[in-house]
Every structure is written in structure tokens, then in C-alpha cells.
Chains A and B, each alone.
Chain A
Amino acid sequence: MNPLSLLFHFGKFVDWQRQIYRRPENIRMYYKELVRQMYDIGLGSLPIIFLISIFLGAVTVTQFYYQMDGQFIPNSFIGYIVRDMMIIELSPTFSCIILAGKVGSNMAAEIGGMRQKEHIDAMDIMGVNTSAYLVMPKVLAAFMMIPLLVTVSAFIGIAGGYLASVPVGLFTHNDYVTGLRLFFEPHNIFIMFVKAATFAIILTSVSCYQGYFVKGGSIELGEASTRAVVYSIILILVADYIIALILT
């Protein structure tokens, strides 16, 4: 990827955003699409978010316990560490990286397929603002659903940490619960929501861009779908760092 073409795509991407956020031709059609997307993104991603979050919590607890073993740190600190790790970093970032793979590639393939089969041209000729109709409901749906998914992920992660420690006998129920209540900082929840919402916008916009401007055939469609995931993840991590700098 040479810098010049990177710059070109960035410019095109920014310019394209102005076509997306326009007044819908027909609110009901956009609303219908929004509901479909919310359902797909929200319910469709719950199982995978559930699964990864359990393990994220479990691994965090197990490894911190190992790392701190023999040091003069109370066991309850582990509950505190898991809670904040999940809320500030693991839930938003990990979930969105997973969602870039699941939701992002799906969106790129869906829109790209429509482009290749001339469906987008057909809608253009009907007079539909295809950038708006195909992209806005997706970004909006992700903006609303992904923060919810991330919240769920944080809870499940903390539960996963519990399951991996208390029944196994690493420490007691009381240790863990005391830890969860230690040094609670509401600002961290704010950071989590900012991250989740930002990553949601990044991963959907980038993926839709890759699909909308796809050329060629099935090989290019595959490549676009891969690019959607790779660029989304890179940009999510960059944004993660920037948010961390600003908000902590």
C-alpha cells in the first residue's frame, strides 16, 4: 500500500461521508433497514460476544493470579483488576476486533455483491441515494448496538473471571466480590462507551466503503472483504490509543 494511494482513498472516503448523512428519501424504508441491521448486529453477535468474553475474563484472572502469586498483594485485587481490564480495554477493543471480522466482512460482502450485480446502479437510476440508504442505517445500527454488546461483554467477562477462580479454589467468593467493589471509577464506564461507539463507526464505515467501491469480480470481492477487516482492526487500535491518550 503506497502512501499516495492511501491519501487518495482517505480523501475519497471523507468526501463520500457527505453523501451518506443526508435526509432520507423515505424515513420508513430507512427505519426498516435500521431495524433489520440492529437485529443482525445485536442478536446475531450475542453468542460470539458471550463466548469470547467468558474466556477473556477467565484468562485475565488465571494469569494475574499466576503473576501475583507469592507477592504481597491481597487476592481481592484480582477482582478489581479484571473489572477494570474488561471495562476499559478488553471488552470494547476485543469485541470490536471480533465484530470487525464478523459484521465488517459481512457488510463489505453484502454491499460489494450489490455493486457487482448492478443492484446499486439500478437503485441509483431509480433516484435512490444509495450511499445513504445502504450505509447510514448500518452505521447507526452499529452505533446503537455495539455499545450494548460491549456492556454485555464486560459483565460476562467479570462472570467468566469468577467462574475460573472461585469454584476452582484460587481464592474465595468474598475476595472476588470485595475486589469488584474496590476503587470504582464511573469515568471508566464513560471511556468504555466512547471506545465502543467510536469503534462501531470506524468498523462499519470502513467496511461499507470497501464494499461500495469494489470493482471486478469474485476475487476482488474477497479482497475487499479482507481489506474491510484488516483496515478496521488497524484503525480501531489506532483510535484505541488516541482515546486512551485523551481520556486517561
Chain B
Amino acid sequence: MIRAENIRKSFGDQEVLKGISFTFEAGKTNLIIGRSGAGKTVLLKILVGLFAPSSGRVWYDDRDFSSLSKQQVRELRMEVGMLFQGNALFDSMTIEENIRFPMDMFTKMSFLEKQSRVNEVLERVSMEGINKKFPSEISGGMQKRVGIARSIVLNPKYLFCDEPNSGLDPKTSITIDELISNITDDNNITTIINTHDMNSVMEIGENICLLHEGKLAWQGNKDQVLQSDNEELHNFIFASPFLQKLVDRVGAKNI
């Protein structure tokens, strides 16, 4: 469980987050959704500690992030995996070396054990056999999977994904969503996904936080989305003209 407690964040005199409180639950795929510029990435970076909030607290279960020392933060982070929007794969290392890196750094596993773990996670993301390739030699979707593989290699308790399916075709994007959702279920981890993809919302949105102009505009799960009368939610979900027409004709609750 990760809890944001009245998080505020300003850059200069622009207040991007205006007091967000939300509980991201364990064993669920928690989604942060909202329009471009709503502050999703900023919130995610505050949750993982890459930005410090202007005020407010972040709790990892019973640990208050802001009260941890640098050393304690590093220890906490061994339980954290993150998929970056740009993947952040180390480009001078092969795929195998990328995935092995956290194990090399933090475990005393033997080379063979690491090797078999690499193959195991690559298989988990359906990418077996690309061990010796470099990140620049595989496609964007494949890089995403490798990024996921690297972030789960040490069995994290908390998994963060910044726009895991941006720039992917709908089909690949669904597989990535399913993959993340399955990993979450299997290992009972707290997963937080940042997305503006409607399909993701309706497929894997077990606990959704809608940001609008720096505030929490709506929260609920995928089944409550269509039942809700929330205006911001409707504006976000039915943004496409085609869907809007459909809604006008049959009503949102009947879709």
C-alpha cells in the first residue's frame, strides 16, 4: 500500500498539484489518469521520490518516505521497480546485462543463478532469446517488455509504470497491460500505472485516481466508471467525438 497525503507541488509560481490524497492499494493495479499536463508524471515522481513535494507526505505501508535517511531510502528502493516512459535501458549494455544489473549490484547469486533468473523474467515478458542484443537493436514495444523484465527481476513489492503503453499499437498495448496486471496479481504487489489510455482504464483499472488541474477529480474502479455522473470523468473518458455521439444516443450507463 502506498498512500499520498495532501501532496502539493509547485514549480516557481505554477502550482501543479494542489493537495492530492489517495491510497494506492496492494495487489491491485492502481491507475493515475488525466489529460496531458494534469500532473500525472509529477505525482508519480513524487511517489517514487525523484521529486520532493512542496508539502505533504508519502507513506510506503507504515514508512514515512520524507522521514527516511538517504541510506534508508536506498534500502526501501530495493523493493521498488520502475518502468520509465522512455524505458531508461542502459544503452551500452546488452539486454541480458541490463536485466542482470540489479542482481549484480544487490545479490550474492552465482552467475548461473543470475543467468537462469534473466531467462525466467525474459520468458515472463515473452522475450526469450534476445539476451545478447543491445537496446537499440530491438523495437519500442520490445524495449518496454525488457524494461518490465528489469523492474521485476528482484521481485519488487512496489511497481511504478509511467505510460507503459504510449507509442504502442492497441494490440501490443493490451498485452503489456495484461502482463503488468498478471504480475501484480501473482506477486501481490502495489502497482501504480500512469496512463491516458482509455483501453487500459477499462481493462485493468482496479483503483483509479483521476487528476484534473492538479486536484483529485474522481476515484473508483473500472466498473464504476460508466455508472458515474462525474463531469470531469466523462469529459476525460468520452473525449473522442465518436464515443461522445454514442453516449448521446444510448446514454453512458448502457454502453
Contacts and interface: CB of A to CB of B under 8 A. Distances in A.
Interface stretch (B86-94, B121-129, B178-186): B86-94
B90 A126 contact: no
A129 interface: yes
A119 B160 CA distance: 16
B105 A25 contact: yes
Given A26-B104, A29-B105, A127-B77, A122 B91 contact: no
B141 interface: no
B78 A127 contact: yes
Contact of A126 (B50, B70, B102): B102
Categorize the interface residue count of chain A: 10 to 19
A12 to B, nearest CB: 15
A114 to B, nearest CB: 8
Contacts of B105: 25-26, 29, 126, 128
A219 interface: no
A124 B84 CA distance: 12
Categorize the interface residue count of chain B: 20 to 34
Interface string A118-132: 110110111111000
Contacts of B80: 125-127
Given A122-B84, A127-B74, A129-B74, A117 B91 contact: yes
Interface in B92-114: 101-102, 104-106
B32 to A, nearest CB: 17
A125 B102 CA distance: 10
B48 interface: yes
Interface in A108-146: 117-119, 121-122, 124-129
Given A19-B70, A127-B74, A127-B80, A26 B106 contact: yes
B82 interface: yes
A118 B84 contact: yes
A127 B82 contact: no
Contacts of B104: 26, 28-29
A127 B106 contact: yes
A85 B172 CA distance: 67
A125 B44 CA distance: 12
Nearest to B73: A127
B232 interface: no
Contact of B77 (A19, A119, A124): A124
A129 B160 CA distance: 20
A26 B102 CA distance: 11
Contacts of A29: 104-105
Nearest to A18: B70
A119 B70 contact: no
B216 to A, nearest CB: 25
A128 B154 CA distance: 13
B223 interface: no
Contacts of A124: 50, 77
Interface of B: 48, 50, 70, 74-78, 80-82, 84, 86, 88, 90-91, 101-102, 104-106, 160
19 contacts: A19-B70, A25-B74, A25-B105, A25-B106, A26-B104, A26-B105, A29-B104, A117-B91, A121-B50, A124-B50, A124-B77, A125-B50, A126-B78, A126-B80, A126-B101, A126-B105, A126-B106, A127-B80, A127-B106
Given A121-B50, A127-B76, A127-B77, 13 more contacts: A26-B104, A28-B104, A117-B88, A118-B88, A121-B88, A122-B90, A125-B48, A126-B77, A126-B80, A126-B101, A127-B74, A127-B78, A128-B105
Interface of A: 19, 25-26, 28-29, 117-119, 121-122, 124-129
What are the nearest 6 A-B pairs in CB distance?
Answer: A127-B77, A122-B88, A118-B88, A127-B78, A127-B74, A125-B82
